[in-house]
Amino acid sequence: MFKALKIENFRGFKAFELQQLDRVNLLVGRNNSGKTSILEAIQLLCSRANLEPLIGIMTNRGEYSSSENHSLNRQLTESQNLDIQHLFYGHTVQSASHISISGSHTEDCETLTVSLDGTYGDFDSQLEEPNASGFSLLVQWKLEPDTEEVQSENLSRLDTELNLFYSPLSANFGLSTNRVRSPQRKPYDIPINIPAPINTQFITPFSLSAQSMIEMFEDFVVLTPEEQVVNQALHTIESRIERIAPISSKKSTIFGSRTGFIVKLTGINERVPIGSMGDGIWRMLGLAISAVGAKGGVLLVDEIDTGLHFTVMVDMWKMILQIAQRLDIQVFATTHSRDCWESLAEAGRLEESENEITIHRIERERDRSVIFSGRKMMIAADQEIEVR
């Protein structure tokens, strides 16, 4: 698990730190304080050599590059170009621009660095364009000791720096999504030991697509002990639900986003499409499936309380805590809701997990989060103290 995070020159953060991270971390703060950006930074750090999540992060925000000259190499224009300037602090880039995202573990610290490289012509002569930016995007990953107490035999393992990705940028600092999906590297820069990505699931306020939920349900839930966990999660919202099952993915892609599952309700013989059950059921299903799918890794949830009535939030947090403990998951979630953080405090009390939950208040004018431990959360809830 991450013990601390440090972000530099990423989106709205010039420099920002989160210390004292626990198993479940709830980020609160005003609108546009950077809560979602922190989740994105964690996702990129966990992705390591797999940069495909970058496409989802930027397309969800509409961060495309403006139209490029049609004389650009077909290899650069077959796909949408991402305007990487918006990833950098101030939405502008220059030769010295760089992003750094670091995560500390018990013994080591890993850092993902995104920077501009001026040696564009050394990469691939076929990609040299007269109106290109003259820069390439370089992504590096480094692992180093986080403490002087690390045993000497582990130092070689904990002192590694790898070039993960290298791609030219177009005239408007556009990064080809085709290049992200099929990265090309200098032959002498190909890492021998490319680090495997940390298993990560990211749920946006719009939940997951039906296709993603079906695939995860079939891969991680069907005929496993977690099937009962999912059923219990849905039962907190609708007590009549006895079972849930996926249907053909072909059918699910025809009818829209909230399809792909049917449920058996007590007292009703007909199978009921999950789309008939309301937004809360769909959200709870996505949370349960994603938590199970994040086994041994990280679960990221933006606006975790979306679609949920305050009366079910304690049960939602109890489910998250139980799955996180059993499957060794670290959770980062955001909210604007007082009911949500108070429910987390209550769930921590009921599950005797107050030492595994923390609130981090994000404020733009600070260089680190304001921390409320599980114990402080409970006191704040009891005394009606505002922490958001």
Which CATH number goes with the domain that contains 342?
A: 3.40.50.300
Which domain, by its residues, includes 69?
A: 49-196
242 three-state secondary structure: strand
Question: Is the predicted pLDDT of residue 73 greater than 70, yes or no?
Answer: no
Q: Is 193 exposed, middle or buried (0-12, 13-18, 19+ CB in 10 A)?
A: exposed
**Residue 259 in domain:** yes
Q: Are residues 205 and 152 in the same domain?
A: no
68 token code pair: 């490029």
Question: Is the predicted pLDDT of residue 123 greater than 50, yes or no?
Answer: no
* Count helices and strands in the chain by DSSP H and E runs: 11, 17
HSE value, Cβ hemisphere, 13 Å, CA-based, for 316:
27
pLDDT number for residue 322: 93
Select from 133, 229, 230, 203 the least CA-distant residue to 172: 133
Range of lowest pLDDT (28-32, 152-156, 242-246, 257-261)? 152-156
**Residue 387 in domain:** no
* Distance between CA atoms of residues 219 and 58, nearest Å: 27
| pTM exceeding 0.85 | yes
pLDDT number for residue 291: 95
Q: Indicate the pLDDT class of residue 13, thresholds 50, 70 and 90.
A: very high
Q: Are residues 158 and 236 in the same domain?
A: no
Q: Are residues 174 and 213 in the same domain?
A: no
Domain-ending residue, one of 168, 196, 224: 196
The bridge status of strand 370-373 relative to strand 357-361 is antiparallel
* Distance between CA atoms of residues 15 and 328, nearest Å: 29
pLDDT number for residue 192: 59
Range of lowest pLDDT (77-86, 309-318, 368-377)? 77-86
> Which of residues 26 and 350 earns the better pLDDT score?
26
pLDDT number for residue 119: 63
**Residue 18 in domain:** no
Domain-ending residue, one of 196, 217, 232: 196
**What DSSP state is assigned to residue 64?**
B
Bridge partners for 217 per DSSP: none
pLDDT above 90 covers a percentage of the chain that reads 53
Q: Are residues 236 and 181 in the same domain?
A: no
Q: Are residues 236 and 273 in the same domain?
A: yes
Domain-ending residue, one of 150, 166, 196: 196
Long-range contacts formed by 324-327: CB under 8 A, 24+ apart = 324/23, 324/24, 324/291, 324/299, 324/356, 325/23, 325/353, 325/356, 327/291, 327/292, 327/294, 327/295, 327/296
> Which of residues 241 and 74 earns the better pLDDT score?
241
**Residue 31 in domain:** no
290 token code pair: 């994603």
Question: Is the predicted pLDDT of residue 170 greater than 50, yes or no?
Answer: yes
pLDDT number for residue 86: 96
Select from 164, 159, 115, 109 the least CA-distant residue to 141: 164
Q: Are residues 225 and 289 in the same domain?
A: yes
pLDDT number for residue 298: 98
Q: Are residues 230 and 165 in the same domain?
A: no
Q: Are residues 370 and 229 in the same domain?
A: yes
pLDDT number for residue 323: 94
pLDDT number for residue 115: 94
Mean pLDDT over the full length of the chain: 84
Q: Indicate the pLDDT class of residue 9, thresholds 50, 70 and 90.
A: very high
Count of domains in the chain? 2
Provide DSSP, 77-120: HSSPEEEGGGGBGGG---TT-EEEEEEE-SSEEEEEEEEEES-G
**Residue 375 in domain:** yes
**Residue 224 in domain:** yes
Q: Are residues 165 and 278 in the same domain?
A: no
Q: Are residues 366 and 223 in the same domain?
A: yes
Q: Are residues 132 and 243 in the same domain?
A: no
**240, 230, 24, 11 alpha-carbon torsion, rounded to 10°:** -100
> Which of residues 199 and 72 earns the better pLDDT score?
199
The whole-number average pLDDT for the span 352-372 is 93
**Residue 13 in domain:** no
Q: Indicate the pLDDT class of residue 125, thresholds 50, 70 and 90.
A: very low
pLDDT number for residue 75: 43
Question: Is the predicted pLDDT of residue 329 greater than 80, yes or no?
Answer: yes
Select from 274, 291, 162 the least CA-distant residue to 221: 291
**Residue 176 in domain:** yes
Question: Is the predicted pLDDT of residue 7 greater than 90, yes or no?
Answer: yes
Q: Are residues 328 and 311 in the same domain?
A: yes
pLDDT above 70 covers a percentage of the chain that reads 82
